[in-house]
Amino acid sequence: MILTVTLNTALDITYRVPALRPHASHRVTEVIERPGGKGVNVARVLAALDHEVTVTGFTGGATGRVVQEHLTGVRGVVDALVPVTGATRRTIAVVDDRTGDTTQLNEPGPTITPAEWTAFQEAYEDLVPSMSAVALCGSLPPGVPVGAYAGLIRTARAAGVPVLLDTSGEPLRRGVAARPDIVKPNTDELAELTGSHEPVRATQDTRRRGAHAVVASLGPDGLLAVTPEGRWRATPPTPLHGNPTGAGDSTVAGLLSGLVERLPWPTRLSHAVALSAATVASPVAGEFDRGVYEELVGRVSVTGEVSAA
Protein backbone atom coordinates (compact mmCIF):
# COMPACT_ATOMS: atom_id res chain seq x y z
CA MET A 1 0.00 0.00 0.00
CA ILE A 2 1.25 3.48 -0.96
CA LEU A 3 0.21 6.57 1.00
CA THR A 4 -0.26 9.89 -0.77
CA VAL A 5 -0.62 13.05 1.33
CA THR A 6 -2.49 16.04 -0.13
CA LEU A 7 -2.83 18.69 2.54
CA ASN A 8 -4.54 21.01 0.05
CA THR A 9 -7.03 18.69 -1.66
CA ALA A 10 -9.27 20.13 -4.36
CA LEU A 11 -12.18 19.55 -6.65
CA ASP A 12 -10.66 19.88 -10.13
CA ILE A 13 -13.09 21.37 -12.64
CA THR A 14 -12.16 21.42 -16.32
CA TYR A 15 -14.03 23.66 -18.75
CA ARG A 16 -13.57 23.32 -22.51
CA VAL A 17 -14.30 26.34 -24.70
CA PRO A 18 -13.95 26.77 -28.49
CA ALA A 19 -11.56 29.70 -27.97
CA LEU A 20 -10.56 31.60 -24.83
CA ARG A 21 -10.70 35.38 -25.28
CA PRO A 22 -10.08 38.06 -22.62
CA HIS A 23 -13.03 40.31 -21.70
CA ALA A 24 -15.55 38.02 -23.45
CA SER A 25 -18.36 35.66 -22.47
CA HIS A 26 -17.78 32.01 -23.35
CA ARG A 27 -20.02 29.06 -24.06
CA VAL A 28 -18.59 26.00 -22.29
CA THR A 29 -18.78 22.87 -24.45
CA GLU A 30 -17.79 20.35 -21.75
CA VAL A 31 -17.43 20.27 -17.95
CA ILE A 32 -15.45 17.55 -16.14
CA GLU A 33 -15.14 17.19 -12.34
CA ARG A 34 -12.51 15.05 -10.62
CA PRO A 35 -11.07 14.79 -7.10
CA GLY A 36 -7.80 16.69 -7.20
CA GLY A 37 -4.76 18.12 -5.55
CA LYS A 38 -1.34 16.75 -6.47
CA GLY A 39 -1.35 13.70 -4.20
CA VAL A 40 -4.88 12.74 -5.22
CA ASN A 41 -3.85 12.88 -8.89
CA VAL A 42 -0.83 10.71 -8.04
CA ALA A 43 -3.11 8.22 -6.29
CA ARG A 44 -5.46 7.93 -9.26
CA VAL A 45 -2.57 7.23 -11.63
CA LEU A 46 -1.09 4.65 -9.24
CA ALA A 47 -4.48 2.94 -8.93
CA ALA A 48 -4.70 2.77 -12.73
CA LEU A 49 -1.30 1.03 -12.61
CA ASP A 50 -2.86 -1.57 -10.24
CA HIS A 51 -1.28 -0.30 -7.02
CA GLU A 52 -3.32 -0.05 -3.83
CA VAL A 53 -3.25 3.52 -2.53
CA THR A 54 -4.46 5.34 0.58
CA VAL A 55 -5.24 9.04 0.23
CA THR A 56 -4.98 11.36 3.22
CA GLY A 57 -5.05 15.11 3.79
CA PHE A 58 -7.90 17.46 4.62
CA THR A 59 -11.49 17.60 3.42
CA GLY A 60 -14.30 19.99 4.35
CA GLY A 61 -17.60 21.54 3.33
CA ALA A 62 -19.80 20.72 0.36
CA THR A 63 -16.85 20.66 -2.03
CA GLY A 64 -15.04 18.20 0.23
CA ARG A 65 -18.05 15.90 0.20
CA VAL A 66 -18.07 15.94 -3.60
CA VAL A 67 -14.35 15.04 -3.62
CA GLN A 68 -15.00 12.07 -1.33
CA GLU A 69 -17.98 10.94 -3.40
CA HIS A 70 -15.77 10.88 -6.47
CA LEU A 71 -13.04 8.96 -4.61
CA THR A 72 -15.45 6.17 -3.70
CA GLY A 73 -15.70 5.36 -7.39
CA VAL A 74 -11.94 4.94 -7.90
CA ARG A 75 -10.98 1.26 -7.64
CA GLY A 76 -7.87 0.67 -5.52
CA VAL A 77 -8.03 4.00 -3.64
CA VAL A 78 -8.81 4.13 0.10
CA ASP A 79 -10.16 7.42 1.51
CA ALA A 80 -8.42 8.40 4.77
CA LEU A 81 -9.02 12.16 4.52
CA VAL A 82 -9.30 14.09 7.78
CA PRO A 83 -12.37 16.37 8.18
CA VAL A 84 -12.01 20.11 8.82
CA THR A 85 -14.50 22.93 9.31
CA GLY A 86 -13.34 24.96 6.30
CA ALA A 87 -14.33 24.22 2.70
CA THR A 88 -12.10 22.25 0.33
CA ARG A 89 -10.87 24.44 -2.52
CA ARG A 90 -11.69 24.25 -6.21
CA THR A 91 -9.29 24.49 -9.13
CA ILE A 92 -10.55 25.62 -12.52
CA ALA A 93 -8.82 24.63 -15.75
CA VAL A 94 -10.06 26.30 -18.93
CA VAL A 95 -8.97 24.44 -22.06
CA ASP A 96 -8.91 26.43 -25.31
CA ASP A 97 -9.86 23.94 -28.04
CA ARG A 98 -8.46 26.22 -30.75
CA THR A 99 -4.90 26.36 -29.38
CA GLY A 100 -4.87 23.47 -26.88
CA ASP A 101 -3.62 25.86 -24.18
CA THR A 102 -4.88 25.59 -20.59
CA THR A 103 -5.53 28.48 -18.19
CA GLN A 104 -5.45 27.44 -14.51
CA LEU A 105 -7.19 29.16 -11.57
CA ASN A 106 -6.38 27.77 -8.09
CA GLU A 107 -8.19 28.72 -4.88
CA PRO A 108 -6.05 28.96 -1.70
CA GLY A 109 -7.76 26.26 0.39
CA PRO A 110 -9.33 26.29 3.86
CA THR A 111 -7.60 27.67 6.96
CA ILE A 112 -6.50 24.76 9.15
CA THR A 113 -6.76 25.20 12.92
CA PRO A 114 -4.06 23.95 15.33
CA ALA A 115 -6.44 21.23 16.56
CA GLU A 116 -7.10 20.06 13.00
CA TRP A 117 -3.37 19.94 12.26
CA THR A 118 -2.79 17.87 15.40
CA ALA A 119 -5.59 15.47 14.40
CA PHE A 120 -3.98 15.02 10.97
CA GLN A 121 -0.55 14.31 12.45
CA GLU A 122 -2.03 11.64 14.70
CA ALA A 123 -3.85 10.02 11.75
CA TYR A 124 -0.68 10.13 9.65
CA GLU A 125 1.41 8.51 12.38
CA ASP A 126 -1.12 5.66 12.54
CA LEU A 127 -1.09 5.14 8.77
CA VAL A 128 2.62 5.31 7.95
CA PRO A 129 3.96 2.07 9.52
CA SER A 130 1.80 -0.14 7.28
CA MET A 131 2.83 1.62 4.04
CA SER A 132 5.46 0.66 1.46
CA ALA A 133 6.07 4.32 0.49
CA VAL A 134 4.77 7.83 1.21
CA ALA A 135 4.35 10.78 -1.17
CA LEU A 136 4.02 14.31 0.23
CA CYS A 137 2.58 16.48 -2.51
CA GLY A 138 1.54 20.02 -3.23
CA SER A 139 1.00 23.32 -1.46
CA LEU A 140 0.18 23.90 2.19
CA PRO A 141 -3.24 25.33 3.06
CA PRO A 142 -3.39 28.40 5.32
CA GLY A 143 -2.72 27.58 8.96
CA VAL A 144 -0.42 24.61 8.36
CA PRO A 145 3.16 25.25 9.62
CA VAL A 146 5.68 25.96 6.86
CA GLY A 147 7.85 23.14 8.22
CA ALA A 148 5.00 20.62 8.06
CA TYR A 149 6.56 18.42 5.40
CA ALA A 150 9.88 18.28 7.26
CA GLY A 151 8.07 16.83 10.28
CA LEU A 152 6.12 14.34 8.15
CA ILE A 153 9.36 13.22 6.48
CA ARG A 154 10.98 12.59 9.85
CA THR A 155 7.95 10.53 10.94
CA ALA A 156 8.19 8.35 7.82
CA ARG A 157 11.95 7.91 8.17
CA ALA A 158 11.55 6.90 11.82
CA ALA A 159 9.13 4.19 10.66
CA GLY A 160 11.56 3.00 7.99
CA VAL A 161 9.21 4.00 5.14
CA PRO A 162 10.69 5.71 2.05
CA VAL A 163 9.24 9.15 1.33
CA LEU A 164 9.01 11.30 -1.81
CA LEU A 165 8.56 15.08 -1.57
CA ASP A 166 6.96 17.19 -4.31
CA THR A 167 6.40 20.79 -3.23
CA SER A 168 7.97 24.22 -3.66
CA GLY A 169 9.25 27.31 -1.87
CA GLU A 170 10.03 27.30 1.84
CA PRO A 171 8.20 23.97 2.46
CA LEU A 172 10.59 22.41 -0.09
CA ARG A 173 13.64 24.05 1.48
CA ARG A 174 12.78 22.78 4.96
CA GLY A 175 11.64 19.41 3.65
CA VAL A 176 14.91 18.75 1.81
CA ALA A 177 16.83 19.36 5.06
CA ALA A 178 14.81 16.51 6.66
CA ARG A 179 16.44 14.09 4.16
CA PRO A 180 13.62 12.65 2.03
CA ASP A 181 14.43 9.64 -0.15
CA ILE A 182 13.35 11.38 -3.36
CA VAL A 183 12.64 15.02 -4.21
CA LYS A 184 10.86 15.86 -7.49
CA PRO A 185 11.22 19.61 -8.25
CA ASN A 186 10.89 21.37 -11.59
CA THR A 187 13.55 23.73 -12.90
CA ASP A 188 11.90 26.84 -11.46
CA GLU A 189 11.62 25.23 -8.02
CA LEU A 190 15.26 24.13 -8.22
CA ALA A 191 16.38 27.63 -9.12
CA GLU A 192 14.40 29.14 -6.24
CA LEU A 193 15.89 26.59 -3.83
CA THR A 194 19.52 26.76 -4.93
CA GLY A 195 19.90 30.05 -6.82
CA SER A 196 21.21 28.16 -9.87
CA HIS A 197 19.45 27.99 -13.25
CA GLU A 198 21.77 25.21 -14.47
CA PRO A 199 19.84 21.94 -13.84
CA VAL A 200 22.79 19.62 -13.17
CA ARG A 201 24.41 22.03 -10.72
CA ALA A 202 21.08 22.79 -9.00
CA THR A 203 20.19 19.10 -8.72
CA GLN A 204 23.57 18.24 -7.20
CA ASP A 205 23.22 21.16 -4.77
CA THR A 206 19.79 19.86 -3.70
CA ARG A 207 21.35 16.49 -2.88
CA ARG A 208 24.01 18.21 -0.80
CA ARG A 209 21.24 19.97 1.12
CA GLY A 210 19.87 16.61 2.29
CA ALA A 211 17.84 14.81 -0.41
CA HIS A 212 18.87 11.20 -0.99
CA ALA A 213 17.92 11.36 -4.69
CA VAL A 214 16.71 14.27 -6.82
CA VAL A 215 14.63 13.87 -9.97
CA ALA A 216 14.25 17.21 -11.73
CA SER A 217 11.43 17.76 -14.18
CA LEU A 218 12.68 19.52 -17.33
CA GLY A 219 9.20 19.94 -18.85
CA PRO A 220 9.00 18.64 -22.43
CA ASP A 221 12.73 17.73 -22.24
CA GLY A 222 12.06 14.94 -19.73
CA LEU A 223 13.82 14.22 -16.45
CA LEU A 224 17.26 14.58 -14.88
CA ALA A 225 18.01 12.22 -11.98
CA VAL A 226 20.95 12.47 -9.60
CA THR A 227 21.03 9.55 -7.17
CA PRO A 228 23.56 7.60 -5.08
CA GLU A 229 23.47 4.93 -7.82
CA GLY A 230 24.23 7.28 -10.71
CA ARG A 231 23.08 10.17 -12.87
CA TRP A 232 20.69 9.89 -15.83
CA ARG A 233 18.74 11.95 -18.37
CA ALA A 234 15.43 10.55 -19.64
CA THR A 235 13.91 12.17 -22.73
CA PRO A 236 10.63 11.46 -24.54
CA PRO A 237 11.02 10.36 -28.19
CA THR A 238 8.74 13.08 -29.57
CA PRO A 239 7.16 16.24 -28.12
CA LEU A 240 3.46 15.92 -27.32
CA HIS A 241 0.93 18.72 -27.34
CA GLY A 242 -2.09 18.85 -25.05
CA ASN A 243 -3.06 19.61 -21.46
CA PRO A 244 0.06 19.60 -19.23
CA THR A 245 -1.99 19.76 -16.00
CA GLY A 246 -1.12 16.72 -13.89
CA ALA A 247 1.93 15.68 -15.95
CA GLY A 248 4.21 16.21 -12.94
CA ASP A 249 1.87 14.19 -10.75
CA SER A 250 2.11 11.29 -13.21
CA THR A 251 5.89 11.59 -13.02
CA VAL A 252 5.63 11.17 -9.24
CA ALA A 253 3.35 8.14 -9.70
CA GLY A 254 5.87 6.56 -12.07
CA LEU A 255 8.73 7.14 -9.61
CA LEU A 256 6.73 5.69 -6.72
CA SER A 257 5.67 2.67 -8.76
CA GLY A 258 9.30 2.00 -9.66
CA LEU A 259 10.37 2.48 -6.05
CA VAL A 260 7.97 -0.07 -4.57
CA GLU A 261 8.62 -2.50 -7.44
CA ARG A 262 12.39 -2.10 -6.86
CA LEU A 263 13.06 -1.28 -10.50
CA PRO A 264 16.48 0.07 -11.52
CA TRP A 265 16.65 3.84 -11.92
CA PRO A 266 16.75 3.90 -15.75
CA THR A 267 13.56 1.82 -15.88
CA ARG A 268 11.86 4.01 -13.28
CA LEU A 269 12.70 7.10 -15.30
CA SER A 270 11.49 5.67 -18.62
CA HIS A 271 8.15 4.75 -17.01
CA ALA A 272 7.85 8.17 -15.36
CA VAL A 273 8.55 10.06 -18.61
CA ALA A 274 6.11 7.90 -20.58
CA LEU A 275 3.40 8.42 -17.94
CA SER A 276 3.98 12.17 -17.95
CA ALA A 277 3.73 12.34 -21.75
CA ALA A 278 0.61 10.15 -21.73
CA THR A 279 -0.97 12.56 -19.25
CA VAL A 280 -0.34 15.51 -21.57
CA ALA A 281 -2.23 13.49 -24.19
CA SER A 282 -5.19 13.10 -21.81
CA PRO A 283 -7.66 16.00 -21.40
CA VAL A 284 -8.07 15.58 -17.61
CA ALA A 285 -5.49 15.86 -14.78
CA GLY A 286 -4.89 12.64 -12.89
CA GLU A 287 -5.54 10.49 -15.95
CA PHE A 288 -3.28 9.21 -18.71
CA ASP A 289 -3.76 7.81 -22.18
CA ARG A 290 -2.84 4.14 -21.70
CA GLY A 291 -2.23 3.59 -25.40
CA VAL A 292 0.22 6.49 -25.54
CA TYR A 293 1.93 5.25 -22.36
CA GLU A 294 2.40 1.71 -23.67
CA GLU A 295 3.61 2.99 -27.02
CA LEU A 296 6.15 5.41 -25.50
CA VAL A 297 7.56 3.51 -22.52
CA GLY A 298 9.96 1.47 -24.64
CA ARG A 299 11.02 4.48 -26.71
CA VAL A 300 12.11 6.87 -23.95
CA SER A 301 15.82 7.63 -24.28
CA VAL A 302 17.72 7.15 -20.99
CA THR A 303 21.40 8.11 -20.96
CA GLY A 304 23.82 8.41 -18.06
CA GLU A 305 26.20 6.51 -15.91
CA VAL A 306 26.27 4.36 -12.82
CA SER A 307 28.28 5.70 -9.89
CA ALA A 308 31.50 3.93 -9.03
CA ALA A 309 31.14 1.59 -6.07
User: Which residue numbers are catalytic?
Assistant: 249
Cα dihedral sign, 293-298-303-306: positive
Question: Residue 239 to residues 186, 232, 273: CA-CA distances in angstroms?
Answer: 18, 19, 11
Q: What would the DSSP string read from start to end of 23-84?
A: T-----SEEEEEEESHHHHHHHHHHHTT--EEEEEEE-HHHHHHHHHHHHTSTTEEE-PEE-
CA dihedral defined by 37, 108, 98, 276, rounded to 10 degrees? -30
Q: How far apart are CA 259 and CA 245, in angstroms?
A: 23
Q: How far apart are CA 263 and CA 106, in angstroms?
A: 35
CA dihedral defined by 289, 294, 296, 301, rounded to 10 degrees? 130
Backbone angles phi, psi at 262, to 5 degrees: 60, 40
Q: How far apart are CA 187 and CA 191, in angstroms?
A: 6
Burial class (CB in 10 A: 0-12, 13-18, 19+), 288: buried
